[in-house]
Chains A and B, each alone.
Chain A
Amino acid sequence: MFKAAKEGPAKVITANDLRDGLVVFLDHDGGWTHDIALARVVEDGPDLDQANAYAKAQHDARIVVEPYPIDVEVKSGVPVPVRYRERIRAEKGPTIVYGYDEVAKLQQAGGVKRATGT
């Protein structure tokens, strides 16, 4: 049953999707979401044990790969991972722009530089 997360330290379950490999979080309905804001927030104890057991079953059922719980701090109702590594995972990509966006960024920077003569 859905309960609003209490502010403060808690846990969410994360994994990678088996088929596309992308980062997912266990949600309230037993599904998996890419958005940590929609993740099920649990506390240590029976809730966490149950969530871990469910996630393990989802691993065995070939939905996700190697689920594990992470520490989060709930702020304004949204879980924020404690470890920097998990914050990067929750952001769905690297902290830097990449690919075409990077080329566009660099070309813009180069253009600005040329325009100002620096």
Chain B
Amino acid sequence: MYRYDEFDHAFVNERVAQFRGQVDRRLSGEISEDQFKPLRLMNGVYLQLHAYMLRIAIPYGTLNPPQLRMLAFIARKYDRGYGHFTTRQNLQFNWPALKDIPDILGHLASVEMHAIQTSGNCIRNVTADHFAGAAADEVVDPRPYAEILRQWSSLHPEFIFLPRKFKIAVTGSERDRAATQVHDIGLHAKRDAEGRLGFAYYVGGGLGRTPMIGHLINEFVPVEDLLSYTEAVLRVYNLFGRRDNKYKARIKILVHETGAAEIKRQVEEEWARIRDGALVLPQDEIHRIEAYFAPPALAAKPAASVKLNAARKVDPQLDAWVAQNTVAHKTPGYTIVTISLKPIGGTPGDATAEQMDLIADLAERYSHGEIRVSHEQNLILPHVALDDLPALHQALAAANLATANAGLVTDIIACPGLDYCALANARSIPIAQRISERFADPVRQRDVGELKIKISGCINACGHHHVGHIGILGVEKKGEEFYQLTLGGSGDETASVGEIIGPGFGYDEVVDAVETLVDTYLKVRSGPEENFLAAYRRLGQAPFKEALYGAA
């Protein structure tokens, strides 16, 4: 993975010192809360429902073991022994004291981490496919280009005060695991007929209160033009994006109101002006960054593991876990392991300090020192030998980390909701827990098959409910929690925004409603190979509506 150079170290350390000074001045009264708030937000510090919250960037979701151990150390020393992995591949601590945050940032800097641009109206942490560099179906590892974008966007003086926040996601596979089409910019790295590297360039996607699917404005932006093209997009947005209304300030609204064709024209007019300037990416610089992400040297192995296959025959739990939580690696004899942070009845995305330490150890032992955070709030070990799966499974199971539910109905995305978040209108976590408990039976889960349930506790949609096969949105109605259901959303390469199925449900009713939807799907599907989303797309709302609300 990328390692900081001298410039990066100096830059992050200076920033820690600067924020230490800002906190000191806040505590001593030299600056007011109004003056301090934008400064703390630029360093990832929120004031939430119960306490401060610190959001730490995990660029493109890639972590090494010393970094994960540092997060565990911070959780123990400065927080309450756990952290929360988010849908943006970040980590949040829920209980840090303001006076301690400069020290926390100092510790993070020592392992090449920070919280810069994890909040505020700037370019946020660049996210990527969590299977990057490992997936069998990958054409291009997207992380070097995510890193180039990270370097370009970090404290970019022109883009520190955008109309609103700005999120970029990059994938390098046909299968879009990074939800690129629901980002402000979504990039799909690919090669053209001549083998040259470039990006399909999507603009204007997003979730929140006005969900939109991104528009493809350029089929192929060559890699050397990545920064000039992106700068042109940001310039058009910075100039014309609305600043009069926070709720209409994202680029998706600009693209929607202006039209994708006109946005493309404006972008490419600006691009023509700057394309041959200072932002052209030199080939040697591209290769220098790519080298940081060179795949680990994996010893050649047979495609099938006799040891694993024998162990699977006698251990049904191992067998189920391997079937569900591993996917094909580009190197024969290896696999990609999803460590589920969704134990039945647990808080999606939470991990204790002990679990983080254990996963760091296991990554060193079994995954060439690599860990990934998925936007689905799980952790990934990307390079595991098939032979090592039985031992890895045993170690994970002892720490309640071996739930065999990746991609199933209990692998639920949920935002922190009203249990933690100052913006939320309703709770998300207990809904996720109760759905998870309802569908705890592993046989039933496997029968239901792939089903993405995503829960947000308010319209800001951090829980990505718009792109859930079943989306759940919590609202407040007459002082009570109330939940709207949407069906048919998807964040993959066939991205779609879910449609509201009908009147919402109370806190005590919503789990039954979800179960009704699932049972209906089981009745109407053409066969086990037709998943929930496919069945919904084929049949539409009618059978689900009737099951929930009775015949019209």
Contacts and interface: CB of A to CB of B under 8 A. Distances in A.
B190 to A, nearest CB: 42
Interface stretch (A2-10, A39-47, A82-90): A82-90
Given A16-B51, A83-B479, A84-B480, A96 B433 contact: yes
Contact of B419 (A96, A103, A110): A96
B479 A89 contact: no
A17 to B, nearest CB: 9
Interface in B5-52: 26-29, 32-33, 47-52
Interface string B93-114: 0111111000000000000000
A100 B419 contact: no
Shortest beta-carbon contacts, A-B, top 4: A94-B419, A21-B52, A99-B82, A21-B51
A62 B99 CA distance: 13
B400 interface: yes
A116 interface: no
A21 B98 contact: yes
B427 interface: yes
A72 interface: no
Contact of A99 (B33, B352, B479): B352
Given A19-B97, A59-B33, A100-B81, A88 B49 contact: yes
B288 interface: no
Interface residues of A, number: 34
B117 interface: no
Contacts of B400: 103, 106-107, 110
B429 A94 contact: yes
Given A23-B50, A94-B420, A99 B81 contact: yes
Interface in A19-70: 19-23, 59-62, 65-66
B388 interface: no
Contacts, number: 100
B346 interface: yes
Contacts of B419: 88, 94-96
Given A19-B99, A82-B479, A103 B352 contact: yes
A21 B47 contact: yes
Contacts of B96: 21
A111 B27 CA distance: 48
A93 interface: yes
Interface in B405-442: 418-420, 424-425, 427, 429-430, 433
Interface residues of B, number: 44
Contacts of A96: 347, 419, 429-430, 433
27 contacts: A16-B47, A19-B27, A19-B98, A19-B99, A20-B97, A21-B52, A21-B97, A23-B50, A66-B47, A83-B479, A84-B418, A84-B476, A84-B480, A85-B424, A89-B49, A89-B50, A94-B419, A98-B80, A98-B350, A100-B81, A100-B352, A103-B354, A103-B355, A105-B345, A106-B345, A106-B346, A109-B345
B51 A20 contact: yes
Nearest to A62: B29
Contacts of A106: 343-346, 400
Contact of A18 (B82, B98, B425): B98
A61 to B, nearest CB: 8
A23 B420 CA distance: 12
A88 B476 CA distance: 14
B62 to A, nearest CB: 25
Nearest to B430: A96
B361 interface: no
A108 to B, nearest CB: 11
A93 B50 contact: yes
Contacts of A62: 26-29
B224 interface: no
A18 B101 CA distance: 13
Nearest to B425: A85
B499 interface: no
B270 interface: no
Contacts of A75: none
Contacts of A84: 418, 476, 479-481
Counting chain B CB atoms within 10 Å of each CB, the highest count among A16, A82, A98 belongs to A98
A107 B399 CA distance: 9
A8 to B, nearest CB: 17
A100 B79 CA distance: 12
A18 B29 CA distance: 11
A88 B430 CA distance: 13
Given A19-B97, A99-B81, A85 B418 contact: yes
Nearest to B29: A62
Counting chain A CB atoms within 10 Å of each CB, the highest count among B32, B50, B430 belongs to B50
A19 B350 CA distance: 25
Counting chain A CB atoms within 10 Å of each CB, the highest count among B98, B476, B479, B481 belongs to B98
Contacts of A21: 47-48, 50-52, 95-98
Contacts of B33: 59, 65-66
Given A16-B51, A84-B418, A94-B420, A100 B82 contact: yes
Given A20-B97, A106-B345, A99 B80 contact: yes
Contacts of B480: 84
A74 B343 CA distance: 40
